[in-house]
Structure 1
Amino acid sequence: MARQAAQTIEIVCAGNPVPRTLEPITFPAGSTAVERMARLITGLAANSDGLPTGNDLASAIGANIATTNRLVSTAVGTGLALQLPGRLQPGPRLLHWAALLGPDIEPALIARPILRELAQESGETIGLIQFHADTKEAVMTTVVDGVRPLHYGLASGVRIPLYAGAGGKAILAHCPPNDVQALKLEPLTECTQTNLRALAKDLEEIRERGWVVGDGERIPDAFGVCAPYFIDGAVAGSITATVTRLRLPEIDVQALARMVQQAAQQLSRLLSTP
């Protein structure tokens, strides 16, 4: 039974890449007990062989020795850490949390509260597009309907072309140039950009501005405002607000773009390693 369990663990771990080394204990900044405990947990996660205790640990988490000892006592008492002679190691509760979260964090799950807040604040329909860099595919995975009486409806599970519409172009702007050159630009509507040189210029402007608008390029009569989000510096998708063109004269595009960009930046921070 033990051998079978060991083989199962090997099979599971074989498909999961080892995460890159975390930075030193510098996050989050601040002096509250929660922030210090977060630095302690970050240190435990970054050092599987354990942390030195005493003054070295106090200096690392930004606390005096008395406060550090109280934090260590709490961490040991709750199972977040194991106390060994001169060292503090990750405890069973911390490992249990890691197992529950798994090796991969599902962006859609993390993004949903951000999308709901954005839909409530803007009143518009908000969508999350996830980008798979290995297959070069983008898919609308999550949609939160707008709260205005007249709002645009989007469908989830739809593949999004990278060259047409705000959602795809926000991603394409941060892809390697070879990915852009390899695209076959087929007209989806009469507004679709099919000139490669003009598309490359659009993408350069998008990178400089940080957000993009799309006017009927993928769906007739739809106007989109979109910003990309990133995981550890690599583009991972985009957040889009879609408006029916009937309401476009009443929309403050700049204000909507700021809200979408802030939501995308918030999602990037949550999904990236501190």
Structure 2
Amino acid sequence: MARDSNKSSTVLKAFKVLEAVAAGAGPMSAADVAEAAGLERVTTYRMLRTIEEAGYLDHDAATKTFRINPRMLTLARPVFADGPDRQRIADLLRATSERTGETCHYSELSGIETVLTQRAKGVQLVAVDFAIGTRCELHATSVGKAILAHQPPAFIQDYLTLDLKTYTDRTIADPDLLISELERVRMQGHAFDFEELSSGMNCIAVPIRNAMGHVEGGISISGPSNRLTRARLNELGQIMRDEVRRIGA
């Protein structure tokens, strides 16, 4: 997308550092964070200490590692606070999970990615259960494509100018092919992901509209490809669309 002179590259780098620490399996050294964030070590260390001073990271001087401070939860509180919309989505996920037996996820548009904010666990023993806060690129998942397909044309065109990452040999990273895929999504009312994000995993997603009629999120079901065949995904899609219509989304 076009560079905006009103934006601070330093702040963007700081968020990359913070996200790298948050995505880590445990405490991380400055070198590990720098590698994960794709930044120079000196820059990364300076930002880590600054974020620590702000109270959002803990620094262990003995091991020279950093980890997320619980204060981060205060920033997320408005997102996860109870309210009519959140309860409506929770009811939708619960009803869909009960009807399908599958784990259902709800993800929202966040910049040029999706972020998973709610889920309802199913009864399937073999299932794909993403963690709350998981972020994914729009073109590589069913829920991402379900959301992207209903964004303004200018947003879609800007997204197509990005260097789209390929996760498997089935990821749709070619702009022309992605345009065709988004057209199919709009016609079908749902989006598929046939091993596009991860080999052996299939998914289906349905967009969710807000009170203004805009698509800002979507519900999805993911699972092993040998169980979630195209035929099964079509069955799930019908149930998901029924439940979405029931809540008026």
Normalising by structure 1, what TM-score? 0.55
Task: Give runs of aligned pairs for residues 78-117 of structure 1, distance below 5 A.
Answer: 105=83, 107-117=85-95
2:193 aligned residue: 214
Q: Assess if the C-alpha contact under 8 Å between 1:165 and 1:216 holds in 2.
A: no
Residue of structure 2 aligned with 1:245, choices 220, 225, 229 = 225
Unmatched runs of 5 consecutive residues or more in structure 1:
1-103, 270-274
**Helix, strand or coil for the counterpart of 2:138?**
coil
Residue of structure 1 aligned with 2:96, choices 93, 118, 126 = 118
Distance (whole Å) between structure 2 residues aligned to residue 180 and residue 242 of structure 1 = 25
Q: 1:72-119 CA distances to partner (integer Å, 9 max, x unpaired)?
A: xxxxxxxxxxxxxxxxxxxxxxxxxxxxxxxx9563332112211211
Q: Assess if the C-alpha contact under 8 Å between 2:126 and 2:223 holds in 1.
A: no
Most deviating of 118-127 and 242-251: 242-251
Normalising by structure 2, what TM-score? 0.60
Letter in 1 for 2:174: N
Distance (whole Å) between structure 2 residues aligned to residue 230 and residue 127 of structure 1 = 16
| CA distance 1:181–1:125, shift in 2 (3 Å) | same
Deviation at 1:151? 2.1
Deviation at 1:177? 2.0
Distance (whole Å) between structure 2 residues aligned to residue 113 and residue 219 of structure 1 = 28
Q: CA RMSD in A?
A: 2.1
Q: 1:167-209 CA distances to partner (integer Å, 9 max, x unpaired)?
A: 1000000012222222221112222111101100110111011
Q: Assess if the C-alpha contact under 8 Å between 1:108 and 1:128 holds in 2.
A: no
Letter in 1 for 2:227: R
Task: Give runs of aligned pairs for residues 99-248 of structure 1, distance below 5 A.
Answer: 105=83, 107-132=85-110, 135-183=111-159, 184=162, 185-231=164-210, 232-248=212-228
Distance (whole Å) between structure 2 residues aligned to residue 208 and residue 136 of structure 1 = 23
Deviation at 1:248? 2.9
Task: Give runs of aligned pairs for residues 21-40 of structure 1, distance below 5 A.
Answer: none
Deviation at 1:256? 0.7
Bigger-Rg structure (1/2): 1
**Helix, strand or coil for the counterpart of 1:139?**
strand
Letter in 2 for 1:145: K
Q: 1:204-257 CA distances to partner (integer Å, 9 max, x unpaired)?
A: 111011111111112322111111010121112001011211313596222211
Letter in 1 for 2:179: A
2:237 aligned residue: 257
Q: How many matched pairs? A: 164
**Helix, strand or coil for the counterpart of 2:118?**
strand
Segments ≥4 residues shifted beyond 4 Å: none
Distance (whole Å) between structure 2 residues aligned to residue 246 and residue 239 of structure 1 = 21
| CA distance 1:105–1:164, shift in 2 (3 Å) | same
Unmatched runs of 5 consecutive residues or more in structure 2:
1-81
Distance (whole Å) between structure 1 residues aligned to residue 108 and residue 84 of structure 2 = 10
